[in-house]
Amino acid sequence: MTLKWTIVVGVVLVSLSVARAQSTNATQRSAESALLDLENRWVAALVNGDTATLDSILVDSYVDTDEEAHRSDKQRLLLAFKSKDLKMSSIKLSDMHVFQYGDFAVVTGTADQTGAFQGHPLTPKIVFTDSFVLQSGKWRVVASQRTTAHGE
């Protein structure tokens, strides 16, 4: 009888471990889907100059570092759109990868973009790293870093 119970307990423990791993994988897939959706909503807001959506997506302490190593904050970004200094015509995202660490996540990728800042054309192809935090069940952007993509 002891051997039988040992086997039963072992099967139960293995089953619980498998169920927990499946639940964790489903949660990670759900977060990945939410983050990729947020990236796409963010891009749509940038192209449309939708400052209300940008305001809701970006945390108040958001930090942006552009291809020229200039840093900006949320308020300056919103002002650039409102003043029409920044105009995005199109952004096409590709090669995105999501890395989640609990309530923090990083998305890396590539973007082809057209637009202008103060009349100067934007860098046509960039690689980016975006950082997110989960606040009250909602992913929000903390920081973004862009680099010119050379030779791709």
% of the chain with per-residue pLDDT over 70: 81
Question: How many domains, in total, are found in the chain?
Answer: 1
Specify whether the CB–CB gap between 145 and 129 falls below 8 A.
Answer: yes
Provide the pLDDT for residue 150. 86
Domain with residue 14: its CATH number is 3.10.450.50
Q: Tens of pLDDT along 12-28?
A: 555 555 555 454 455 55
Query: Does position 152 have pLDDT exceeding 90, yes or no?
Result: no
Q: Which residues contact 46 (CB under 8 A, 6 or more apart)?
A: 54, 88, 91
Full domain range(s) for residue 81: 2-148
